[in-house]
Amino acid sequence: MRHLLDTRTLSRADALRILDVAEDMADTQQREVKKLPTLRGKTVVNLFFEDSTRTRISFEAAAKRLSADVINFSAKGSSVSKGESLQDTAQTLQAMGADAVVIRHGASGAPQTLATSGWITAGVVNAGDGTHEHPTQALLDAFTVRKRFFGDDSRGRDLAGLRVVIVGDVLHSRVARSNVWLLTTLGAHVTLVAPPTLVPQDVSAWPVQVRYDLDDALDEGVDALMMLRIQLERMGAAYFPTEREYSRRWGLDAGRLARLATDSIVMHPGPMNRGLEISADAADSSRSTVLEQVTNGVSVRMAALYLLLAGERARAGEDGR
């Protein structure tokens, strides 16, 4: 694996490989000494042009647990605010000897540009670009679903036959997009539920079923219910009349929570708007995987960094016993 840019082009074999390595990483995080020497001497740069606390911290924890050096670069207070271009920023990082660049950018496709431009030789990990993709979030979601349903028996398994319902602002959500591609690659059946104004126009080309009514979707049965955050900062235009109306029709309240089957789970990528898309009852219930998702995020990102950085292509035939 050279880069991790999206889940749309990620093969089933590669996806399972990341998830299985993440299982091994998760095992090491149960130990007293959580740090592994694996990426000693490698430098990982967190290049964040958009604010993010949890994703950046998660990548930082993952890199540090593997003994890589971490440099955090946020656009605020950097030369970017003085007008430096992505190219110049990237070449600066290259000159400092970055081995991997974890990038979050407001423009869809920025990680792709970074990976294919020839500006840098480092591996590129997409940590969210515009409304395009957020592959490590989808991988940690898939990991969490697999772990909840198959437990210690998870290695090597896909999600065939599981029904995942994704609810909320699909239009602006890179998490939803990455999940749609990854979950269907892994064999899950995905249903999107959103107000018509928050369904993307090109959704008919996606391998999903679309419902406008949450209760209809719940009636059809659900194994994992994924609530998306209503991104109030993106709500320049009016996509629904009021927050209260959204909450009543598309929010997960106590009544809808009670209708879920006993083993189905409730997911949220965080940060949550409690009382808007998810009620406190649902967020704190035993079905909720919110905190597991955070824990698993570190393991999945360790796996991605390991697969990107640990090996070197070519030079085969060396016997390393």
Q: Near other proteins by CB under 8 A, which window of 197-205, 217-225, 289-297, 305-313? A: 305-313
- Show contacts with other proteins in window 51-70 (CB under 8 A): 66
CB of 36 to other proteins, least distance (A): 5
Query: Whole-angstrom Cα distance, residue 39 to residue 35?
Result: 10
Report if residue 321 touches other proteins, rule: CB under 8 A. yes
- In three-state secondary structure terms, 292 is helix
By C-beta, is 233 or 319 nearer to other proteins? 319
Sheet of 163-167, strands arranged across: 209-211, 189-193, 163-167, 224-227, 265-267
- Show contacts with other proteins in window 5-24 (CB under 8 A): 17, 20-21, 23-24
Q: Which of 77, 83, 161, 311 binds other proteins (CB under 8 A)?
A: 311
By DSSP bridging, strand 123-129 and strand 69-74 are unpaired
Q: Angle formed by the axes of helices 12-28 and 174-185, to 10°? A: 100
Spatial CA neighbour of 123 closest among 290, 316, 306, 268: 306
Query: Whole-angstrom Cα distance, residue 103 to residue 205?
Result: 28
CB of 70 to other proteins, least distance (A): 18
Q: Which of 8, 14, 29, 38 binds other proteins (CB under 8 A)?
A: 38
CB of 4 to other proteins, least distance (A): 13
By C-beta, is 33 or 237 nearer to other proteins? 33
β strands within the chain, DSSP E: 43-48, 69-74, 100-105, 123-129, 163-167, 189-193, 209-211, 224-227, 265-267
Report if residue 82 touches other proteins, rule: CB under 8 A. no
- Show contacts with other proteins in window 149-168 (CB under 8 A): 155
The footprint of other proteins on this chain (CB under 8 A) covers a number of residues equal to 30
Report if residue 35 touches other proteins, rule: CB under 8 A. yes
Report if residue 259 touches other proteins, rule: CB under 8 A. no
User: Could you count the other beta carbons within 10 Å of the beta carbon of residue 46?
Assistant: 23
By C-beta, is 23 or 141 nearer to other proteins? 23
CB 23 within 8 A of CB 154: yes
Query: What residues line the site for other proteins (CB under 8 A)?
Result: 1, 17, 20-21, 23-25, 27-28, 31-33, 35-38, 66, 155, 306-307, 310-313, 315-316, 318-321
